[in-house]
Structure 1
């Protein structure tokens, strides 16, 4: 996202009609690292925002007191001590029903992970949990790391940026271990939650992952990195109508090379993942805005509303109107005035 950091006190970017506000990371100056950490109060009032919004940055939240309902994209999750929450850039989220909510936050842009780019994959996995319950021992260990991050950011003594990067890397890696198979039960799925791109649609049998064709790029190396870059690209709203070829050109590879890499890493084609990303964006707009269906269709790159309705029903088993009826929360609407047709 453009202009991911701003000086303190800069107003939020005004959204397009029907889009949520976009919060950017405030930094002390042009040469300050794109990182911030502290309690909810130290980070500022926007850290507890109860209206849907997006970030240009990653956010890790260690809940230490109180409770709330975390609304993230199309899901609603109860939060309480001791939990860790990860929010990705571009996700629509807010905190509802807050009762003494408190904890420590770490905010940072993708640029801050330059020393450990593999942490991006781990953060995406952690964000998929929507809230990770911590044991007493893990809660204590996480609290110490978060406190050290906040102290280093607050004191800014010699070499603090290097220490911040190292501490953040340790936090991400140790937390990711908790979500590995056999590490314990994860969060209970919410049946009202819409599947994110790449998740099976409820009521459908997911297609089995296909083995990569002979000569495909190996998963551990270039393929996984290219697939991650493709996933980040398709999450951006402006790519809603892009083709596989256009995505490949943006990533500096051929369409065939991209297809091999994505299929090797995910078992599916980039075309299939583009469709899932388009459906997911449409679901978010239907649930979080009052935009007419024709405008939702246009936002995801489909100019014919009738075709959009057929496309949406084919992919979800529901019409756009029925989906909105069962998932919309009108008191949370982020529609800007004057956007109704």
Structure 2
């Protein structure tokens, strides 16, 4: 799992973006605490991708927003894109026994129409759209279910580590079952959000989904949802950790990756189909997001999603 800092200015926490290696599934399962693959030391930060932190036993400290939480057995922290995790010390998770699972939305299925659309419509992803960006949602896994949760994450980690035949399908299945569990535990929270909290976000995603394949600006999205560009920018960033422009680019890149993987269309034609008719600008945008050119990405990933 490779991340890089994409935003840090003044007192604003750093933001990290996921940059998968060529051919790599954008799913990671890492130990937290005892036998950890990463420790608790980190600056205050947020991610532009979601994750969960699950602890099967008590021990350790999690800092999110301005809160300090002493970890209890069964704690499940749902980390949405943009959630601010507090500056941690190296010994915060020394006594912890848990797992972190991180992923991107489009890894769930090659049929997912687009990452940003999935946030609104996919029932397993809605718990990760909350708003506020003040820290992770804290849920509790019931005691009888904890062994099953641990086994599921360990199985996911094993598949990612060994990469046996069929591991991509196995990873998708294990991740889906984990997110089903998250969705069920967060049912009350999700229901409230569906009814009360996200009509603007839903409208924005609808506009992007309908129009990403054509030239589309922040002002045009704002006009379509009848709010000012400034209000829209602050609302979307507060709720998702990203700007409207970043979501438009994300949707275009999801479709570009699909077309690169499953078609032989020229790169310039793919750019035109995802709303970036300037072939050079499309290549530069793709390279900035993925760390490589569209042609090189295709070389590693062509036909992988068939």
Q: For this structure pair, what is the TM-score category when the shorter chain's length is used for normalisation?
A: 0.5 to 0.7
Alignment of 1:161 with 2:168, yes or no, is: yes
Displacement of 1:72 in angstroms is: 2.3
Structure number with bigger Rg = 1
Deviation, structure 1 residue 78: 3.3
**Aligned residues between the structures:** 214
Tell me, yes or no, if the aligned pair for 2:65 and 2:84 is still in contact at 8 Å: yes
Q: Provide the residue aligned with 2:291 in structure 1.
A: none
Q: Which residue of 1 aligns with 2:23?
A: 31
TM-score, normalised relative to structure 1: 0.49
Residue of structure 2 aligned with 1:140, choices 143, 147, 150: 147
- Cα 1:133/1:249, change in 2 over 3 Å: same
- 2:22 counterpart of 1:17: no
Unaligned 5+ residue runs, structure 1?
187-197, 199-207, 210-218, 233-244, 260-268, 285-341
Show the 5 A alignment for 1:320-339. Answer: none
Choose from 220, 224, 229 the match for 1:249.
Answer: 220
Alpha-carbon distance in 1 for matches of 2:146, 2:204: 29
Contact 2:30 2:37 survives alignment (8 Å): no
Q: Deviations over 1:278-332 (max 9, x none)?
A: 8969xx9xxxxxxxxxxxxxxxxxxxxxxxxxxxxxxxxxxxxxxxxxxxxxxxx
Give the alignment's Cα RMSD to 1 decimal. Answer: 4.4
Please list, as runs of the form range in 1=range in 2, the aligned pairs for 1:1-341 lying within 5 A after superposition. 6=2, 12-13=5-6, 15-25=8-18, 27=20, 29-40=21-32, 44-45=37-38, 48-94=40-86, 95=88, 97-115=92-110, 117=118, 118=122, 119-124=124-129, 130-181=137-188, 226-227=202-203, 229=205, 247=218, 249-250=220-221, 255-256=223-224, 258=225, 274=232, 277=235
Deviates more, 1:163-172 or 1:32-41: 32-41
Looking at structure 1, the residues matched to 66 and 80 of structure 2 have their Cα atoms a distance apart, in angstroms, of: 14
1:122/1:11 Cα in 2 relative to 1: closer, same or farther (>3 Å)?
A: closer
Offset, 1:138? 2.2
Cα distance in 2 between the residues matched to 1:18 and 1:48: 21
Structure 1 residue 274: deviation in Å? 4.1
Q: 1:248 to 1:142 in 2, by over 3 A?
A: farther
After TM superposition, give the deviation of residue 101 of structure 1 in Å: 1.9
CA distance in 1 between partners of 2:106 and 2:60 (Å)? 30
Deviations 1:166-198 (A, max 9, x none): 2111211122112324xxxx9xxxxxxxxxxx8
Instruction: State the shift of 1:272 in Å.
Output: 11
Contact kept, 8 Å, 2:48 with 2:81, in 1: the verdict is yes
Q: Structure 2 length as normaliser, TM-score?
A: 0.54
Contact 1:77 1:130 in 2 (8 A): no
The answer to whether the 8 Å contact 2:79/2:136 transfers is no
In structure 2, list runs of 5 or more residues that go unmatched: 113-117, 209-215, 242-306
